[in-house]
Each structure stands twice: as structure tokens, then as C-alpha cells.
A and B are shown apart, each in its own frame.
Chain A
Amino acid sequence: MKEIILAKYGEIALKGDNRNSFEDMLVKNIKRRLKKIGRFEYSRRQSTIYIEPLEDVDIDTAVKCLKSVFGIGAIQRCAVFEKNFDTVAQNAGEYLRPALSSAKTFKVEAKRSDKSFPLKSPDIQQKLGDVVLDNFPHLGVDVHNPEVTVRLEIRDNGAYLSAERIIGAGGLPVGSSGKALLMLSGGIDSPVAGYMMAKRGLVVDCIHYVSPPYTSDRARMKVEALCEKMTEFCGNTIFYCVPFTEIQEAIRDNCPEEYFTVIMRRLMVKIANKICDRYGYGGIITGESLAQVASQTLQALKCTNAAAEYPVFRPVIGMDKIEITEIARKIDTYETSILPYEDCCTVFSPKHPKTRPSLEEILKAESSFDFDKMVDEAIEKTEVKRFRYGEKTVFID
């Protein structure tokens, strides 16, 4: 019995004339994911990508990999038969056993896109229901709330029988919306922000600022570990590590303490602007959540936003910590984020930061020192690292 995987489109199905480019991107992403698992043949028909193994492969692992590919609405593993109801009926018992032997209720859903098939959908449903009940007499039928839905689809290329449909990652294929730079701090919020924007089709690469000796190697490794974990959803990721000590010391020595954090955030954004210029990113992503801390009030955001030359995406802006944490747990970054190493945001944080700074005040405070040279220097000394999907190279947790 041959088993294949159907990856059904989510949002892509709603696209119009440009749908092809999304499909191409999705197939490319899926191919990349499954490359290490085995050889597959890919074809697409009727809003579905057919993923057919060409050798003996571990379908469970393949399905697990596909669950984190954005652009897939649902994943269905099926047995393929010739379009002949008797053949399906003969094999259904064996194929459905793992799913049905411990279930209590089921229903059958049939679809017939090949209208030349002699049975109509309601007939197929009824006949297949009888077959299932013959094989598993303990089952009850429940058409409203079944534990297991057995699906038989009569498509152009064959009859596809399945009992397992998994909700996919949703969203749009990574890369279909371009690429952006995520300001990754080591906290809980920024990886979640990156995940959410990758879901909208962005390639997400990360920028991180380090301040040795105020921050430790371990703090940096923690962020690298986060970046590596994000490859699960974002695919291969580039990590820019910007030396930030001298800039922080210069702010401390030249600017009023109460403005420290906002000026620091502005300089981080200015560095991100230049990295975007240089490497072709089209936006900046941050994990800011409105009013969570002093530098994320409306007024403070105005000040940091004014430094940006690219659109700034703040997908968690309207979420509270509990909602953000829930996603962080789902994408498995939470446990890494809460490792106790300090990042550069907290190093010189003022005792009483100004929660409602005005842009004029900030610009004035900032003008007391020429930061441009330091910004350029920091960019020159930025280290670039690459993290690949499915590889673990950072060992800290």
C-alpha cells in the first residue's frame, strides 16, 4: 500500500493571478525541509501539493517537519488506490486500523472531483461507512462531533483514503513577502515577533547587540540558541552580532540618565537601518509591546520610530505577556528565553527612566555627542553567523 502526504494550501488558495509565485515558494520551502528525510516527487493540483515518497521514508518525520512550514493549511497522509471502490474497501480495514481501533466514534467524508467515477459522494459515504463498521464493529457513528473523520477523495489521479488531518502552520510561505531584520534581544517577546512575521511570508534574519564586559558570552550564546530555534519556522537564518559597548558607554557619559534607554534604542535602530541598506532588508521587526516597559510607551515608541528608515513591524504590540508567553512555549523558545543571563538592554538602565519623552528633548540630548562614527565602527565590527534549519550548534540549555 502506497502512502503519500497531501499539503493543502492555506491562504494561498485565496490568491489570484500571482498565486503561482506563492506556490513556487512553498514547494521550494517544502523541498528544502524534506531533503534530509528522503527523496520525494512533488506535484500540485487542486490547491494541494502531492508529496510522494520515491523510496522507503519515515512518513511520521516528514509530517512533523511539514507542521512548521508556513503556507500549509492542512496536512493529510493518505493511502493511494486505483479508482475502484472495491479495492478501497478491501484495504480500508488494514490502513485505518491504527486510527480507529481505539476510537469510539467516526464519520466518513467523501469528495468526488472526478465526476466520471460511478458513485456519487453520498453513496460513497454510505458504502464506506458500512465497510468501516464491518471492520470495527465497536465504533459508533457521530456526524457532528466524531473522534475520527475518515476521508475518501476521488481525485484525477486516484482514490485517496485518510483518517488523519493535521492543522498546518498557516500563513504564507517564508520568502514570499521579502526579508526583514529582527531585533533579537534574548527576552521572551522578540522570538515571538520573528515567528509572527515569518508567518506573514518574511525571511527573518536577526540582529543582536552585545556589550562585553557588561554582558557575558553566555548571554550572547543564549541569543544564538534562540536564533537557532527560530530556524524551525523561519528556515536558515543569518545572525548579525553588533558590538555595542562603546556606544552604551558614550550614552552614559554624554546624555542625561533618564533618556538612556530611548537613545540606546534609537541607536540600535540606526544600526539596523544601515544593515538593511547593506544587505537589502525591507523592514525591521521588534518585540515591543505597548507600555510593557518605559521604552515602549506611546511617546517612547514615537522617539524610536523616528530613527527608523524602514517600516517597523511590531506584531506583539497589542498582546499581553500571557499571550506572548503562550506562543513562546508553542514555538519552544520560552525555556531558552528565561535563562538568567543579562542582555545589554538592562546594563545601564536608569533608575527612573522618562516614560514620556518628547522627540525634541531626545534629539537635543542626542546631539551632545557625535554617535555617527561609532555607529559606522560598530557596523564594521559586526560579526555575521549563519544558522541552518535542523542543525544544533549552540549548546547552552
Chain B
Amino acid sequence: MIYLDNAATTKPCRECVEAVSAAMNDCYGNASSLHKMGTVSINLISRAKQAVLKGLALGNPPLEGEVIFTSGATESNNTALFGANLRKGKIVTTAMEHPSVARVIDKLEEKGSEVVRLAPKNYSDFEGALIDSVDEKTSLVSCMAVNNETGFAVDVKRLYKGVKVKNPRTLVHIDAVQGFLKIPLDGDLISVSGHKIHASKGIGALYIKKGVTVSPLLFGGGQQKNLRSGTEAVELIAGFEAAINAYRYDYEYFSALKEKLLAELVKIKDISINSGEKCLPNIVNFSVRGVRSENMLHSLEQYDICVSSGSACSKGKTSKVLAAFGVSDKDADSAVRVSLCHNNNEEEIAFLCEKITETVKRIRR
């Protein structure tokens, strides 16, 4: 199997699998229990929080604040946006957000907030444009760190600083699902997910900066400082920590693979590359006109190659997100996303290119 759909999900790494298994065997205590087994679990969770804080900063001094573990980024995003108790006012966000942010902001809009959605295609300096949109009334800026369909990366640290200079009362939420461990992050609220970095599905986290208050979505036993009731999934948290510690993002390696892929793709007539220069090299999105995404996907599937047609979450629907990058509807209908991880190599890319070329010959009309 040549798995090139790592932006949809990743294979859990050996370290993660071992940590989950070890925790299931030895660390099954309820973190709320007062006995020894509970203490072991608390220690594990607390250690994992430090790993998340360190991972967010990525080489810079760890961020300060609270980390709560959630069921995944959808829950983190919902908790951040619904829980932030925003005053009515203006929300600045983007037209490229994942549905777990975009739909929540739609709800806030229905409840009376004014929402401004900026599309990257309209600005050469996107961070600057977001910062410029912030005014006295702005209660929130919500922006993804790295776009899941194109790999477009935002300079989050610059954005955070700029917003705070413009209006210190404005909260900044960063959906960092695709950016976590790839670029340095900062924000008042940051959502991350385990299964995009070789941990398991069912685990994610929300970072809450010191001084920021959030109301919980879930009520119950008052776990995680009353911010997220429900027994902590110690085993999954152990796997998450192990995956964070094992993760290395090799920018040069991915750049080389992307270059090789693009060198072959540009030989195809009528192809457009939807991942531009501000994109991280591990995601490459392209459209071959006359070959619909699904047909390309199923054709490559016959050779055990897994790619994605746009984003797996929107199953078959044409991506509105690509429009935010200036991709026409017609090209969006043909968009294919190849997303890499460190397990992928040059031979796989060569084989992929060969099969793409064959598919285009067969299917294109």
C-alpha cells in the first residue's frame, strides 16, 4: 500500500502503539482515583501536557497555560469557540477553515456576531490583511495554521503578535491540526489532533493561554479542572505523548519529494497546481482538467495508491475551500491531494507519477 493521504489521517507510529499498549497493561487507573493507580495516571497525563506545550512552541520556549485533552480537534474547536464567552462584536476568520471551525462560526453569526471571512487568494500579505481587519469591536480572530487541502501556511506567531498590538482584548484561536509540530505556534486558544501526527484517532487537545477563561461544553465529574468532564482517556493520551516525542518534520526531505512530484506533473497537459509557494511541502494539491477527482482516486486505488479528492471530511462534495485559493469550480472538481509523511519515499512518488500519467491517458476525454 502506498499511503499518500496523511492529511486525512496517519498511521500510528510504533512508539504510539507501544505506549498505548503499555498504558493499557499497566496504567489503567482512573486519574480521579485517590489510590496509587490513579496517581500513576495523573503523572502520565501531566507529562503529556508538557509534551503538548513543548510541541506547540516547536523549538521556542514552551507556551504557558493549560492543556485539556479532548476527543479530537472537532471537540477542541467547538470548546474554544463556544466556550470563549465572546462579547458580541466582530469575528475575523478565513474562507479556508475546516468545517469544525466554519460551522461553529456560522452559528455565532446566527446569534448576532458580525463575521468577516478573508480568502487568501485576495491578499499577497494574508497575515497583514487579517491584522488590518481587527478593530476595537473585534472579539475573536480564528485562523487555521496550515490549510488541510493545499498546505497553505500562516505565520501564526506574526499574526498573534499583530492582533494583540491592534487590540489586546481580541482572542486569537488557531486551528493547528495540520500545523502542529510543523511550524511554531502561538495563540490564546490552539486546537490540535492526535491522529494527524501518528497518534490514534479519538484524542486531541486544546491549549488555553494563561489568563484566558473558557466555559466547558461537557458537564459531569469535573475532570481536567472542570473544563472537560469525562474520565481521561489515559491510554490514548499516552500514545499522543509518545507520538509527539517521536515526531520529526523534515522540511528538506518533503521539499525534495514535492519537487520530484511537480517535475513529473508539469509534463501533463492542462494541469494546474493548487498548492502555491506559501504551502508546506508535505501537501500537494493539483487538478488535471478532464479527469474528475473521484475517477483519479479510484483509478490509483487499483494500484494500491491512496490519495484524496480534496478533503476526506467532505466526501465527494466540491471543495469551497479551494475557491478561497482562487481554484475554479471546474478545477476543484478535478482536485487531487497528495499528502506525505516521513515514511514515503522517492520510489513511491515515481510510481505515483507513472500511474497518474497512465490514468490521464485512459480517462481523459
A172 vs B294: C-alpha distance in the bound complex, in angstroms?
43
- Contact (Cβ within 8 A) B295 A340: no
Q: Which residues of chain A are within 8 angstroms of B300 by Cβ–Cβ distance?
A: 213
Name the prevailing secondary structure of the B interface residues: helix
Stretch at the interface among A306-314, A315-323, A341-349: A341-349
Q: Does B299 contact A (CB under 8 A)?
A: yes
- Contact (Cβ within 8 A) A214 B298: yes
Q: Which residues of chain B are within 8 angstroms of A178 by Cβ–Cβ distance?
A: none
- Contact (Cβ within 8 A) A252 B295: no
Nearest CB of chain B from residue A309's CB, rounded to whole Å? 32
Closest to A253 in B: B365
Closest to B301 in A: A213
Chain B, 309-330, contact with A by CB distance < 8 Å: what is the 0/1 string? 0000001110000000000000
Nearest CB of chain A from residue B105's CB, rounded to whole Å? 25
Among B295, B297, B299, B301, chain A packs the most CB atoms within 10 A around the CB of B295
A372 vs B144: C-alpha distance in the bound complex, in angstroms?
56
Indicate whether A213 sits within 8 Å of B299 (C-beta atoms), given known contacts A342-B294, A348-B365. Answer: yes
Nearest CB of chain B from residue A32's CB, rounded to whole Å? 38
Q: Which residues of chain B are within 8 angstroms of A342 by Cβ–Cβ distance?
A: 294, 316
> Which residues of chain A from 195 to 218 have any CB-CB distance to chain B below 8 Å in the complex?
212-216
Nearest CB of chain A from residue B318's CB, rounded to whole Å? 12
> Which residues of chain B from 115 to 150 have any CB-CB distance to chain A below 8 Å in the complex?
none
Q: Does B302 contact A (CB under 8 A)?
A: yes
- Contact (Cβ within 8 A) B298 A340: no
> Which residues of chain B from 191 to 249 have any CB-CB distance to chain A below 8 Å in the complex?
none
Closest to A348 in B: B365
A212 vs B315: C-alpha distance in the bound complex, in angstroms?
18
Q: Which residues of chain B are within 8 angstroms of A216 by Cβ–Cβ distance?
A: 294, 297-298, 301
- Contact (Cβ within 8 A) A213 B316: no
Nearest CB of chain A from residue B7's CB, rounded to whole Å? 20
A249 vs B362: C-alpha distance in the bound complex, in angstroms?
9
- Contact (Cβ within 8 A) B365 A213: no
Nearest CB of chain A from residue B333's CB, rounded to whole Å? 12
- Contact (Cβ within 8 A) B365 A215: no
- Contact (Cβ within 8 A) A347 B317: no
- Contact (Cβ within 8 A) B317 A213: no
Closest to A249 in B: B362
- Contact (Cβ within 8 A) A340 B315: yes
Q: Which residues of chain A are within 8 angstroms of B295 by Cβ–Cβ distance?
A: 213-214, 347
- Contact (Cβ within 8 A) A341 B298: no
Q: Which residues of chain B are within 8 angstroms of A249 by Cβ–Cβ distance?
A: 362
- Contact (Cβ within 8 A) B315 A213: no
A347 vs B316: C-alpha distance in the bound complex, in angstroms?
14
Q: Which residues of chain A are within 8 angstroms of B294 by Cβ–Cβ distance?
A: 216, 342
Q: Which residues of chain B are within 8 angstroms of A214 by Cβ–Cβ distance?
A: 295, 298, 363
- Contact (Cβ within 8 A) A252 B365: yes
Closest to B298 in A: A213
- Contact (Cβ within 8 A) A340 B317: yes
Nearest CB of chain A from residue B317's CB, rounded to whole Å? 7
> Which residues of chain A from 237 to 254 have any CB-CB distance to chain B below 8 Å in the complex?
249, 252
Q: Which residues of chain A are within 8 angstroms of B299 by Cβ–Cβ distance?
A: 213
- Contact (Cβ within 8 A) A212 B365: no
A214 vs B294: C-alpha distance in the bound complex, in angstroms?
7
> Which residues of chain B from 283 to 313 have any CB-CB distance to chain A below 8 Å in the complex?
294-295, 297-302
A340 vs B298: C-alpha distance in the bound complex, in angstroms?
15
- Contact (Cβ within 8 A) B316 A340: yes
A274 vs B362: C-alpha distance in the bound complex, in angstroms?
29
Q: Which residues of chain B are within 8 angstroms of A341 by Cβ–Cβ distance?
A: 316
- Contact (Cβ within 8 A) B316 A212: no
Q: Which residues of chain A are within 8 angstroms of B297 by Cβ–Cβ distance?
A: 216
> Which residues of chain A from 174 to 232 have any CB-CB distance to chain B below 8 Å in the complex?
212-216
A84 vs B95: C-alpha distance in the bound complex, in angstroms?
79
Nearest CB of chain A from residue B142's CB, rounded to whole Å? 28
Among A213, A214, A342, chain B packs the most CB atoms within 10 A around the CB of A213
Q: Which residues of chain A are within 8 angstroms of B302 by Cβ–Cβ distance?
A: 212-213
A342 vs B362: C-alpha distance in the bound complex, in angstroms?
19
A216 vs B293: C-alpha distance in the bound complex, in angstroms?
12
Closest to B295 in A: A214
A216 vs B299: C-alpha distance in the bound complex, in angstroms?
9
A249 vs B315: C-alpha distance in the bound complex, in angstroms?
26
A199 vs B362: C-alpha distance in the bound complex, in angstroms?
44
Chain A, 313-355, contact with B by CB distance < 8 Å: what is the 0/1 string? 0000000000000000000000000001110000110000000
Chain A, 260-288, contact with B by CB distance < 8 Å: what is the 0/1 string? 00000000000000000000000000000
Among B299, B317, B363, chain A packs the most CB atoms within 10 A around the CB of B363
Q: Which residues of chain B are within 8 angstroms of A347 by Cβ–Cβ distance?
A: 295
Nearest CB of chain A from residue B348's CB, rounded to whole Å? 19
Nearest CB of chain A from residue B265's CB, rounded to whole Å? 19
- Contact (Cβ within 8 A) B298 A212: yes
Q: Which residues of chain A are within 8 angstroms of B301 by Cβ–Cβ distance?
A: 213, 216
A340 vs B359: C-alpha distance in the bound complex, in angstroms?
23
A342 vs B298: C-alpha distance in the bound complex, in angstroms?
11
A348 vs B363: C-alpha distance in the bound complex, in angstroms?
10
Q: Which residues of chain B are within 8 angstroms of A212 by Cβ–Cβ distance?
A: 298, 302
Nearest CB of chain B from residue A205's CB, rounded to whole Å? 27
Q: Which residues of chain B are within 8 angstroms of A340 by Cβ–Cβ distance?
A: 315-317
A340 vs B312: C-alpha distance in the bound complex, in angstroms?
13
Q: Which residues of chain A are within 8 angstroms of B365 by Cβ–Cβ distance?
A: 252, 348
Q: Which residues of chain A are within 8 angstroms of B315 by Cβ–Cβ distance?
A: 340
Closest to B296 in A: A213
Chain B, 252-295, contact with A by CB distance < 8 Å: what is the 0/1 string? 00000000000000000000000000000000000000000011
A348 vs B292: C-alpha distance in the bound complex, in angstroms?
10
A252 vs B363: C-alpha distance in the bound complex, in angstroms?
10
Among B298, B301, B302, chain A packs the most CB atoms within 10 A around the CB of B298
Nearest CB of chain B from residue A260's CB, rounded to whole Å? 10
Closest to B317 in A: A340
Closest to B315 in A: A340
Q: Which residues of chain A are within 8 angstroms of B316 by Cβ–Cβ distance?
A: 340-342
Q: Which residues of chain B are within 8 angstroms of A213 by Cβ–Cβ distance?
A: 295, 298-302, 359
> Which residues of chain B from 317 to 357 have any CB-CB distance to chain A below 8 Å in the complex?
317
A252 vs B315: C-alpha distance in the bound complex, in angstroms?
27
Nearest CB of chain A from residue B312's CB, rounded to whole Å? 13
Q: Which residues of chain A are within 8 angstroms of B298 by Cβ–Cβ distance?
A: 212-216
Nearest CB of chain A from residue B316's CB, rounded to whole Å? 4
- Which 7 A/B pairs are nearest by Cβ-Cβ distance? A213-B298, A213-B299, A340-B316, A216-B298, A214-B295, A213-B302, A340-B315
Q: What are 15 A-B residue pairs whose CB atoms fall within 8 Å in the complex?
A: A212-B298, A212-B302, A213-B295, A213-B299, A213-B302, A213-B359, A214-B295, A214-B363, A215-B298, A216-B294, A216-B298, A252-B365, A340-B316, A342-B316, A347-B295
With A216-B294, A216-B297, A340-B316 already in contact, 18 other A-B pairs whose C-beta atoms are closer than 8 Å: A212-B302, A213-B299, A213-B301, A213-B302, A213-B359, A214-B295, A214-B298, A214-B363, A215-B298, A216-B298, A216-B301, A252-B365, A340-B315, A340-B317, A341-B316, A342-B294, A342-B316, A347-B295
